[in-house]
Structure 1
Amino acid sequence: MRMMVAVDESEGSFYALNWALNNFFPAFTTAEELGTFTVVHVQQPFQPYIFAAGPVLEVAREGQEKQAASISSRALEMCKGKMVKAETLILEGDPKEMICQATEKMQVDVLVVGSRGLSTIKRAFLGSVSDYCAHHAKCPILIVKPPSESHNKK
């Protein structure tokens, strides 16, 4: 089985990763039985026309690369804490399109994504990665919603 979990800087994506680690791995006695476990992070395309050229551009790119490395490192630490061997994949582009392309290229069996819980209006203007993937990914997709406020108080 090939599983992919998409992460970004949001706590919702890390909640989804933790959920997948807690709910998929107890069913397998070893990570090898699961197969490939990939954590993917997609950086937004860098828009150089927003910044002046030269040092400012380089500093902005370095910051973006450090953020991607930090996200991947946090995800790998979570996997390591659950004794799950994982690989990371950092892509650049529109997250929703790149995630769908990666699942198809890697022949992923299941994609796990978090949900930020956007309202209908915000989803219409901002777009929803989970909604797009649910309609365009060529594999089954599991959308993990964060617990509601009332659920947290129990």
Structure 2
Amino acid sequence: MIEKILLADSGTGQSEEMFKALASIPSMQRASVTILHVVPPQVTAAEMDEQREKGGQILANAIQALDLDSTRVSGLLREGDPKDVVCKVADEIDADLIIMGSRGLQRLVSILENSVSQYVFQLSSHPMLLVRDDIYIKKINRVMVALDKSEAASQSLKLALFLLRDLKGAELILTHIVQDLSGKSYCESGEVSEHDPVFATAVAEAKRLGIAYRCLSCVGKPAEELCRLADELNVGLLLLGSPDRRPTVAKGLPDLDRLLGTSLSDYVRVHANCPVLLARTS
């Protein structure tokens, strides 16, 4: 299900470490990765040549660090605006997953500071794995999925099951959070939750694949609860759906909720203390 990965490498951040964590998972053993480094336009030709040389070295170092069979890894050096180039290359290779570092900037700050990850988060239709620069990359054996009745949540579940299906000692944490604006917050877990229609399909699939699972039914503010649970349960990867709500004619324009930082997925990508994989559906 994940066969082609685009790793956007700026030379900083933890995208390479994130890929290594993924590459250790049995289901990812056949995945290939394209490492992309983008050289922004420079004022002079001499500066451009210098940046190309630095970019080439960044790619060479990344390829060496990943230590993959040469048939599974390739480097790509492009020139242009990094925001646009990442989206374009993801489309060119039809990436199953984009891995990017993120500074975790909030709301309009990310726009004003020209954040590449925020821009790609808004406009790309490909699943994205965002890795904040300031978090610790754990071994991926405990994965949490945010469930509801949406197609995007179903896609998140499929990705989680793909990652965990042959992973020994893995645990799938299924969460469903009902919004409560009154400020109340509590969780219930156990066999009763399995009969909730929201959990039924996920539980059946986990049982079929022999994946250990846990169901959590919670009440509270969904975004805040997801971040809290991921932290308390020492989750290595959090998956949630991030559907594109824009009409077809506006696909090339930013999503206003994401632009303003008011969407659930935007809050989680900023505040979760673990990598966040955003599943996409058009």
TM-score w.r.t. the length of structure 1 is 0.76
The secondary structure found in structure 2 opposite 1:41 is strand
CA radius of gyration, larger in: 2
Match of 1:46? 42
Per the alignment, do residues 148 and 141 of structure 1 end up closer, same or farther by CA in structure 2, a change over 3 Å counting? closer
Percent of aligned pairs with the same amino acid:
22
Task: Identify the structure with the greater strand proportion.
Answer: 2
Task: Please say if 1:20 is aligned against 2:7.
Answer: no
TM-score w.r.t. the length of structure 2 is 0.43
The secondary structure found in structure 1 opposite 2:24 is helix
1:106 aligns with one of 93, 97, 114:
93
Query: How many pairs does the alignment contain?
Result: 134
Structure 2 CA distance for aligned equivalents of residues 9 and 121 of structure 1: 25
Counterpart of 1:118 in structure 2: which amino acid? Answer: L
Task: Please say if 1:132 is aligned against 2:106.
Answer: no
Match of 2:149? none
Q: CA RMSD in A?
A: 2.4
Structure 2 unaligned blocks of 5 or more: 137-272, 274-282
Structure 2 CA distance for aligned equivalents of residues 99 and 91 of structure 1: 9
CA drift at 1:133 = 0.9
Structure 2 CA distance for aligned equivalents of residues 128 and 135 of structure 1: 11
CA drift at 1:62 = 2.5
Match of 2:133? 146
Match of 1:87? 74
The secondary structure found in structure 2 opposite 1:117 is coil
Task: Please say if 1:72 is aligned against 2:59.
Answer: yes
Match of 1:53? none
Task: Identify the structure with the greater helix proportion.
Answer: 1
Structure with the larger RCO, 1 or 2 (CA within 8 Å, 6+ apart): 1
Per the alignment, do residues 30 and 138 of structure 1 end up closer, same or farther by CA in structure 2, a change over 3 Å counting? closer
Counterpart of 1:69 in structure 2: which amino acid? Answer: G
Structure 2 CA distance for aligned equivalents of residues 119 and 69 of structure 1: 31
Structure 1 unaligned blocks of 5 or more: 49-56
